[in-house]
Amino acid sequence: MSLSAAITLGVVGVPGALAESTKTSSSSSSSSSSSSSATSSMGLTYVVVNNDSLSRIASRVNVPINDLLAVNGFVRTSVIVPGQIIKLPDSATIKPVSSPSVSPSASSSASMSVASAAGATYVVQRNDSLSLIASKSKVSLAALLAANKFTRSSVIVPGQVIALPAGAATSTSISGASTPSAPVAGANPSTSTMVQQVIEFARAQVGKPYVFATAGPATYDCSGLTKASYATVGIKLPHQSLAQSKLGVAIDWKTTPIQAGDLVFTFSTKNPTQISHVGIAISSTQWIEAPNTGSVVRISALPSAARIQAVRRFI
C-alpha cells in the first residue's frame, strides 16, 4: 500500500486536545522519546482533528507512541490542536481516506482543464471536506480538485480560502457559515462579498486558542486574527491593535451604526490608557475577538459605546 503524503480526515473542531498521559513505570526511562531511533524523511504528515490525542494518533497510524513523539520533538504532555499538522514516522501506515467515486475520465485533477470562476472562492469551515464543498458548490469533486491543483489527499483547514471552478454556486447560502453575518447596508455587491469573506474567515477560527503574538493558523491573538482575516481579501494590516486603529476610515460609533467588517478597538484591563485590543464586528451588536491568554477565539457582544475607543472601516 502506498503512503499518502498527507492524511485528510475532513473534520476539525474545538481546540486544545491534550496529549494523553500514561502512568510512569519502572521502564519509563527506556521508553522515552529520546530513546527512539524513528525518522521522518518521507514527508508523511497528519492533520490533528477533534478529540485526537498523541496516543490515539500513534495507534491510528500503527506506530509506537515514542516514535511519534521523537519525530516531532514532543513529550507525552505536549498539547495538540485541531488543524495542526504533525510529522509521522517513516514506518507509519494507514488506510487512505475514501472519497466519492468519479468517472475514470475525471478521476485525476491533472487530466482536466477547469477554469476557476472569476473571483469565486470558498472559506473552509469546520467539518468540511473536499467532497462536501464540491457538493455544496454543485460541482464535481474532480473539477474542484483541478481548480485548486489539489489531489484527493490534499489537506484543508478551517479559514483556508480555496478557488471554486466555473459554474459553481456562489451564493452566500453555501458560504459554509451556520449563521450568516448581517449585510452591510448600502454596500455594493463586490464590497459586500469582501466583507462576507473577511467575516467567514474569522468565524472559521472560533474555538482556536489565544496565543500572544500569533496570527494563525492554529492560534491567534486579537490583532493577529484581524490581520489574517483581512489578508483573505488582499488588505495588509500590521500585527498590532494600536497600529491598526490608525488605518482605514474612522467611524463615529456614537452617531453612525457599526457595520459588519468594521474593526472595533478598546483598551484592555492590563493597559487601560492605550488601545490594546481589537475585534471584527459581525453586526451592530456582535463581534469576533481573540480575548486573552487562556481563552479562545469567540463571538460575543460588542463592548458598550463607553468602552469603545475607535472604529475603523477598511471595505
| Each residue's pLDDT tens digit, 144-164 | 888 888 888 777 766 677 888
Low-confidence ranges of the chain (pLDDT < 50): 1-34, 95-118, 171-189
Rounded distance, CA 128 to CA 9, Å?
A: 9
Structural domains in the chain? Answer: 6-87 (3.10.350), 104-174 (3.10.350.10), 189-313 (3.90.1720.10)
Q: Are 58 and 36 in contact (CB under 8 A)?
A: no
Question: What per-residue confidence (pLDDT) applies to 25?
Answer: 35
C-alpha distances in Å from residue 311, one per residue of 5, 117, 246, 250, 253: 45, 34, 10, 6, 7
Question: What per-residue confidence (pLDDT) applies to 158?
Answer: 66
| Each residue's pLDDT tens digit, 79-95 | 776 667 778 888 887 54
Grid coordinates representing 267?
483598551
